Chain A
């Protein structure tokens, strides 16, 4: 188990890591999910020893890493940029980490050739990295990272600079490759909630340098602990709507007044925030809203709407074209609605009674 405790790293007044305490389990792929600048890369660089935390501790199986230089840490890393050694052939690139670890040349080449075969570059071992396409270059980088069988593998948005189709394919290949490594801790950073939830055995949500929630993907998705976590984990963006409960009435700010039982639970009077995922907004109903943007992606349509000053996002599992500026009618499905208290903390639907 790789444990990080109280990891803090600030540069001037900007906190890149703010008291991060998380752990990663062996044989599992943990995704770090957060927006750009949330601290994912810094966290990985700290694990690799490339960034020096001001405070906190990193330990693998109880062994402290803080005094280990980057080249002493049993870590492999693939970054967003396609970095390979320009002066070495593809084969020598992949054999390099083994040769540096005193593996005999022929054994290293054998392992490298095997690994290159598995990433589908078996026929290109004599080329230089500059003679390969972007996707192929990144495969070389992945092969170089995996060939040394490091106990910790860091993947920092490895496919973000590739085009969409290539990304999907490579991601599946990578997951297959990693399944074989039963003792490895794999950490994968992503800005894409769907990717992170789909790939990860565990997921850690990050925002503003803090690890705000961790757990199994379904769990984190279904019960984000705060409004911030709900935002990070939802794609398309979750609709957060102010809500007032008083005297048997639910008053959704600027949208609608509903009977208290609409949520299917009792809430004491007060201010709340209602979290409504985009697929819980449906076309047809008694709410009206103006279309401000429509995006079709695959077989889904995401529509951004304005309803009396409240921005809403609607997801439909069909291809629909809503003309810009037209007014459509909506209904809200509160069945999966999340309710957050005044501090933005999730209020569970069925609180566990003592």
Chain B
């Protein structure tokens, strides 16, 4: 009777299965082969790639670095995004102007802005060091020292994606009912107590959603790194995606990089699932 329902679902589903599911299954098979530039093709070498990966310190370092970078930037983005959303939520002059302005960075192409940021961080020609000089902090070796390069990547990520947090959290704030705030005012609660006991608890679910989306996106990080530091100096800002990219698309070690990316996918999925569960338990009071 409802045979027509397949007309809706099947085209999209088949396209997605064809483009994503089959290649992914193929990758699993490739990860058990030694496919590379010299010997392209599907031989069977068992778990050799995975054994090599287990010993690959550069891979695990990249994964650790990525975790620190991801958690660090997302927490910064959440804090700043929440603060900004609160600032332009209610009575403020030129509210809509600031809202638009705060949204703009997330609309811009990340790599293109990273290229501009690279000129900003330039040690002798960029505009940042003269400013730091003027306010007494002094010029910094932004892209040539490990710690600084790491910070530079974080600054760019915060600039680019805090607006996304801001967007979701402001949308959440704007959809809150008014009554609890009236009640808090009648009880004589100040702004800080109102925030802690009314606003923040009601924003629990949307906070978890926003943080999770950003964690997922941030854990893919590679474009900013590619443009800004090329993973350097040395391998000090190399992320997992970038390392796999080097092994796979540059060295063309297809088999090995397949095992790297599958391991990465599994580690990320497990970690994100655990984080999601913990966050939901921590921040979502009433699960409806």
Binding site for B on A (CB under 8 A): 49, 52, 67, 69
Contact = CB atoms under 8 A, between A and B. Distances in A.
Contacts of A69: 1-2
A52 B2 CA distance: 12
Contacts of A49: 1
Interface size bracket, B side? under 10
Interface in B1-31: 1-2
Contacts of A67: 1
Nearest to B4: A69
- 3 closest A-B pairs by beta carbon, nearest first, are A69-B1, A69-B2, A67-B1
A66 to B, nearest CB: 10
Nearest to B1: A69
A49 B1 CA distance: 10
A69 B4 CA distance: 11
Contacts of B2: 69
A70 to B, nearest CB: 8
A67 B1 CA distance: 7
5 contacts: A49-B1, A52-B1, A67-B1, A69-B1, A69-B2
A67 B2 CA distance: 11
A187 to B, nearest CB: 22
Contacts of A52: 1
Contacts of B1: 49, 52, 67, 69
B7 to A, nearest CB: 14
A49 B2 CA distance: 11
Interface string B51-84: 0000000000000000000000000000000000
A342 B1 CA distance: 47
A69 B2 CA distance: 8
Nearest to B2: A69
A321 B2 CA distance: 59
A133 to B, nearest CB: 27
Nearest to A52: B1
Nearest to B3: A69
A67 to B, nearest CB: 8
